[in-house]
Amino acid sequence: MEEIKSLLLKEKAALLANIQEKAVNSKTNSDIGDAIDSSVEEQERELDLLLQDREQARLKGIELALKRMEADDFGYCDECGETISKKRLLAIPLARMCINCQSNEERSKLAQNAFSRADYSSQVLSDD
Ligand SMILES: [Zn+2]
């Protein structure tokens, strides 16, 4: 579990550095912003904000995972409560479901999408 923790801490540090770097950049941008008042820059800023949102959401996820780790509540499937394999957690530290539940969910999503398709029944038959 220490391996995963250090992985999460590393990712957290990288994200924080990224967000800070962007904050510095947007500050310099706003200094010269009056001179270059173009719509392109506006769009870039919006994109930055969007990315920042996503990064912050990920950061929150990492912090939550670290908290759960401290409370010894980390690495359990949200769906069935089984432990998530270490291999899976190393690949996706923020995984909330075990591989079985994840693939079940993906399969049911796929099935829902496939309902309107003509080849649905043949897909199900060839599935297992
Ligand atoms: Zn599960």
DSSP state of 76: B
Q: Which residue has the higher pLDDT, 102 or 41?
A: 102
One-letter amino acid for residue 98 of the chain: C
Distance 57 CA to ligand 1 centre (A): 23
Ligand 1 geometric centre to CA of 81 (Å): 6
Query: 28 CA distance to ligand 1 centroid (A)?
Result: 47
pLDDT of residue 40: 83
Residues within 5 Å of ion ligand 1, judged at the Cβ atom: 77, 79-80, 98, 101
pLDDT for residue 37: 64
Position 21 pLDDT exceeds 90: no
Q: What pLDDT is attached to residue 120?
A: 47
Instruction: Please tell me the distance between residue 117's alpha carbon and the centre of ligand 1 in angstroms.
Output: 28
Distance (Å) from CA 93 to ligand 1 centroid = 15
This prediction's pTM: 0.65
Q: Per the domain annotation, does 115 fall within a domain?
A: no
- Say how many Å lie between the CA of residue 105 and the centre of ligand 1: 10
Identify how many contiguous H helices and E strands the chain contains and give both numbers: 5, 0
Question: Does some domain include residue 123?
Answer: no
Q: Helix, strand or coil for residue 1?
A: coil
Write the pLDDT tens digit of every residue in 77-113. Answer: 999 999 999 999 999 999 999 999 999 999 998 888 8
Query: Is residue 79, in this structure, part of any structural domain at all?
Result: no
Domain that holds residue 19: 2-74
Most trustworthy range by pLDDT among 43-47, 89-93, 109-113, 121-125 = 89-93
108 assigned to some structural domain: no
Helix (H) or strand (E) holding 123: helix 120-125
Q: Rg for the chain (alpha carbons), in Å?
A: 21
Per the structure, the count of domains in the chain is: 1
Confidence (pLDDT) at 115:
67
Residue 87 domain-assigned (yes or no)? no
Question: Is pLDDT larger for residue 24 or for residue 71?
Answer: 71
> Within a domain: residue 83?
no
In a domain, 59, yes or no: yes
Do the domain assignments include residue 55?
yes
Q: Are 3 and 90 in contact (CB under 8 A)?
A: yes
